[in-house]
Amino acid sequence: MNGMEWAEFIRRTENKMYHLHRAIDGICNEPDYQESVTALTEVVRDYQTLVEKAKDELRAVDMQIEHRYD
């Protein structure tokens, strides 16, 4: 993937994480949903790992701008 694709992937994944955090916050005090909170928290951790790996990939992308003079 190129730099723009990595940046878009990071943006989309962080947006998903935001919504998962909101869902977790909404149900975290409900005893019937404790297993769901645990599962969602694990999903957020997995997404965080993906975001960190994507940021590493983005850092490695060559950002040199090629100037073409015709």
Q: What is the pLDDT of residue 1?
A: 86
For residue 69, being part of any structural domain is answered with: no
Range(s) of the domain holding residue 17 = 3-60
The answer on pLDDT for 70 being more than 70 is no
Counting the structural domains of the chain, the total is 1
Q: What is the pLDDT of residue 61?
A: 86
Report d(CA 52, CA 43) in Å as an integer: 14
Residue with tokens 């769901």: 36
For residue 9, being part of any structural domain is answered with: yes
Q: What is the pLDDT of residue 41?
A: 96
| Model confidence pLDDT, tens digit, residues 3-59 | 999 999 999 999 999 999 999 999 999 999 999 999 999 999 999 999 999 999 999
For residue 70, being part of any structural domain is answered with: no
pLDDT band at 65 (very low <50, low <70, confident <90, very high): low
Please give the structure tokens belonging to residue 49: 């790992």
For residue 12, being part of any structural domain is answered with: yes
Please give the structure tokens belonging to residue 47: 């997404």
